[in-house]
Every structure is written in C-alpha cells, then in structure tokens.
C-alpha cells in the first residue's frame, strides 16, 4: 500500500531571481530543492489515500541566516574570482566550495574505523564535507564510502540546515561523483527506498493538488531515476509535466494567476528532475522546454540543465549541440533565449567563439561532425 509522501518545503532560488547582476543576463546553476524536516516514512506505511499528518516549516527567522550566508558567500566568491564588477553567476557557484581544500579533513581523520565511531548524521556530514572540499581522497572513493553506508543511514539522518547546505553545494559541484554522492545522501535523508513501489507512490503524488507535495515528488522522482530506479518511466512522468503550459480559464484573475504560477513552478521542477535523471532520453524534452515553454524561467533552467547542471555527462551534452546552434539562429526565438543557446554552447564545448551561429556551425562541422 502506498501513502502520500509528505514534506513541508522551501526551495533555493526564488521564482524571479536567476542572475545576480541583471546587466549581464546569464544562466544560473541548478536550483536545489531544500525541503525542511522530511518525514522518515516509507510509502508503504500508510493506507491508500491516507495523507501523512501536516507538519509546519521552521520559522522564517530560523532559515533566514542560512539562506543569507549562502547567498553572501556566492556573491563574494563571484566578485573575488572576477576581480569585481558585473559577472555571470552561471558556472561560478560550482567552484565555490570545491576550489578550497580543508586541512582538517585529512585521510587520517576519516578512516573507516573512525567513521564507524560517529553517528550516521556525522558520518554523512563528514563525507560530504570531504567531497565538496576535495580535502582528501578521490571523489570516486568518497562516493564509494557513501554508497557503502547508505542503507545504514536510511531513516537515521535528520534533514537539517547543515545537511541541506552540504547537499546543495555538492549538487552544484563541478565533479560528477560529488553530485552523485549528494543524491544518495538526499534519498537516505528522505527515507526513500530505491524500489518500484516508491516510484509508484511518487508518480501518484506528482498529480497532487497540493503544490508542495507535487513539487517534492517531481524532485524525488529525479533522484530515484538517476540511481537506476525505473528511469524511463520517471522521464515520461516528468516530460508530461512540461506539456502543461498553464493556460488560464476565463475565471477569477487572481485565482488564474495563482494557478498559472503553480504550473510554472511545477514545470521548472520537472526540468530540474529531468536534469537529475541524467539519461540521454532527457535531452529531447529539455530541448523542447528550452525552445517552447512560455516561461523564461523554465526555458533558462532547461538551457542550464543541458549545459552544465544536473547529471548528464559531457558526451551526452554534446548531443544537444546541433539543436542549440539551430536555436541560436532561430528568428522565432527571443533574443534572451538565443543568448542562452550561445552560453550553453560555450559551456558544453569549452570553445570561445563569438555569438555567431555560422561560426558555431562551421566549428561543429569541422571539429565534431567530421570526426577525428
């Protein structure tokens, strides 16, 4: 039997703030879902249709210092690395933590016996800190350590500000293994098992009228899909969410506006879910969303998901290049979307070409399409 999985939510990244400096419109990295205090409960624990009891989010005064500290840290890092002045946020936040080594996290302090003496919460924190700081050991080794402990952690981790911040930074790391480690820790903290029955419950919840439950289900589906739990089905469910452009009816304008905003948010988090899954089948719906979604917010997140956020590999991202070149020259698209196409091309290929579609097309034909 499957229950509605219930969390109280807040999420990083406001609906209207995607760039730190408006003078240079660029894309931001992945928005990371930051739920507060998840229920440590499996889908099978409640009867069908029985909702988990409602919880209340921590007061805004409790969350605000963590949020402000993170934003200030990102802004400071951007100004330092750029030498001051307006700079693009997209691509900068991935290096915020990983660029600094932490001497306190040496191999000697993170041996298996010493980790075993720590509580599960502390183990998760120490290993994530080690991963995002690159203090010791290869990321693949840290990922293996985390995966070996995941089953023991499930149901024993508390989703607090520390773990939330660590997974947020890890999911925006420039290292694929660090991002994978963050996914494992989130699933353990949510108490979600990697089973088809969990996907079944989340799929039902993705159609919930409760916006908070719906959004979290879309995010959690992406986490599970990335770990190989029914990824094809997960992609179908998330892609279906993108087809609802939120057309308003001829009713109350305030009500219609609220419904439109809810649908826009759902599509944005469906995009983030697809980015998490990281299979080649996610590329087509992300390209479709980047071109045709009526919301600039959704289009920008789709472009960022294709370019560098989420779990696609560099080889997979190259598949999107021909279509991105087409988008950059498409007169039916607005100037902002075309500029996002150019930025995505630069991030994927690491090429420094002008914002000229023909230059990009010539480069692709001579350097990629023609083969080695």
pLDDT of residue 335: 97
pLDDT of residue 134: 67
pLDDT of residue 198: 97
90 neighbors 27 (Cβ within 8 angstroms):
yes
pLDDT of residue 140: 76
pLDDT of residue 150: 93
Please report which helix (H) or strand (E) contains residue 9, including its range. Answer: strand 8-11
pLDDT of residue 258: 80
| Alpha helices in the chain, H assignment, sequence order | 60-82, 112-116, 120-133, 139-153, 161-171, 176-190, 196-205, 211-226, 231-242, 253-277, 283-292, 296-307, 314-318, 321-328, 335-349, 357-364
Q: What CA–CA distance (Å, rounded) separates 79 from 61? A: 27
Helices 335-349, 283-292: inter-axial angle, 10-degree rounding: 150
pLDDT of residue 224: 98
User: Sign (positive/negative) of CA torsion 156, 162, 166, 169?
Assistant: positive
Nearest CA-CA partner of 156 in 206, 122, 180, 109: 122
Q: What CA–CA distance (Å, rounded) separates 84 from 72? A: 14
pLDDT of residue 44: 37
Distances from the Cα of 335 to the Cα of 66, 341, 348, 353, angstroms: 36, 10, 20, 18
Nearest CA-CA partner of 160 in 110, 107, 121: 121
Strand partners, 10: 34
**Half-sphere CA count of 314, side-chain side, radius 13 A:** 8
pLDDT of residue 372: 62
Interior/surface letters 254-281, b for 16+ CB within 10 angstroms, e for the rest: eeeeebbeebbbbbbbbbbbbbbbbbee
Radius of gyration of the chain (CA): 21
User: Which residues does the chain have with pLDDT short of 70?
Assistant: 1-32, 34-110, 134-138, 245-255, 371-372
pLDDT of residue 137: 56
């Amino acid at each position: 039997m499957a229950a509605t999985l219930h969390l109280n939510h807040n999420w990083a990244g406001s609906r209207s703030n995607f760039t730190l400096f408006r003078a240079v419109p660029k894309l931001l990295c992945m928005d990371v879902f930051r739920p507060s205090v998840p229920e440590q409960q499996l889908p099978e624990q409640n009867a069908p249709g029985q909702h988990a009891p409602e919880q209340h989010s921590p007061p805004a005064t409790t969350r605000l210092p963590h949020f402000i500290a993170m934003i200030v840290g990102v802004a400071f890092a951007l100004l330092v690395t750029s030498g001051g002045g307006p700079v693009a946020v997209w691509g900068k936040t991935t290096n915020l933590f990983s660029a600094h080594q932490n001497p306190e996290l040496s191999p000697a302090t993170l041996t298996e016996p010493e980790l075993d003496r720590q509580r599960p919460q502390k183990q998760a924190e120490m290993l994530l800190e080690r991963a995002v700081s690159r203090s010791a050991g290869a990321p693949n080794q840290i990922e293996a350590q985390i995966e070996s402990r995941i089953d023991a952690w499930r149901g024993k981790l508390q989703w607090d500000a520390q773990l939330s911040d660590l997974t947020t930074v890890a999911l925006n790391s420039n290292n694929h293994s660090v991002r994978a480690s963050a996914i494992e820790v989130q699933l353990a903290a949510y108490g979600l098992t990697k089973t088809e029955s969990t996907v079944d419950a989340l799929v039902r919840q993705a159609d919930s009228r409760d916006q908070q439950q719906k959004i979290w289900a879309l995010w959690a589906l992406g986490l599970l899909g990335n770990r190989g739990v029914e990824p094809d089905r997960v992609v179908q469910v998330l892609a279906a969410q993108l087809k609802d452009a939120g057309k308003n009816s001829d009713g109350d304008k305030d009500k219609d506006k609220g419904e439109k905003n809810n649908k826009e948010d759902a599509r944005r988090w469906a995009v983030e879910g697809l980015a998490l899954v990281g299979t080649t089948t996610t590329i087509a719906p992300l390209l479709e969303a980047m071109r045709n979604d009526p919301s600039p917010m959704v289009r920008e997140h789709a472009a960022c998901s294709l370019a560098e956020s989420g779990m696609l590999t560099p080889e997979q991202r190259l598949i999107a290049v021909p279509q991105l070149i087409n988008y950059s020259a498409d007169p039916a698209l607005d100037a902002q979307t075309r500029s996002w196409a150019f930025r995505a091309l630069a991030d994927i290929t690491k090429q420094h070409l002008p914002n000229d579609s023909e230059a990009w097309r010539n480069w692709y034909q001579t350097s990629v399409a023609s083969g080695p």
